[in-house]
A = this chain, B = another copy of it.
Amino acid sequence: MRTPTQVDLSQRALQLLREDAQKIQQLIAVQLENLTAPKCPLYEEVLDTQMFGLSREIDFAVRAGLITREDGREIIHDLEQKLADLYTKVLPSPGER
């Protein structure tokens, strides 16, 4: 078995972070489907906690030299975009209220 190179470790780190981001997306999708009040404080607390955890992982990966700051920003940006899409589907638009 060969020793993993930095490239292997960096790719693995990126993959893990993207999986973690996807887990948050799935968690939020399940919550939005099941909660009657997606704006409730409990829901926002879960999201805040999860985003904080992911941002700490990303910050660590950047400092450890595994991913670039830009890679990290992209993971967070993609996740925020996907969450915004979820909200659009679930929450009524202002005109429909």
Contact = CB atoms under 8 A, between A and B. Distances in A.
A45 to B, nearest CB: 11
Contacts of A77: none
Given A3-B6, A6-B3, A6-B5, A16 B60 contact: yes
B12 A9 contact: no
Please give the count of copies of this chain that the complex contains.
2
A56 to B, nearest CB: 4
A45 B32 CA distance: 26
A21 interface: no
Contacts of A17: 60
A63 B9 contact: no
Contact of A12 (B12, B53, B54, B64): B64
A4 to B, nearest CB: 6
Interface of A: 3-6, 9, 12-13, 16-17, 20, 49, 52-54, 56-57, 60-61, 63-66
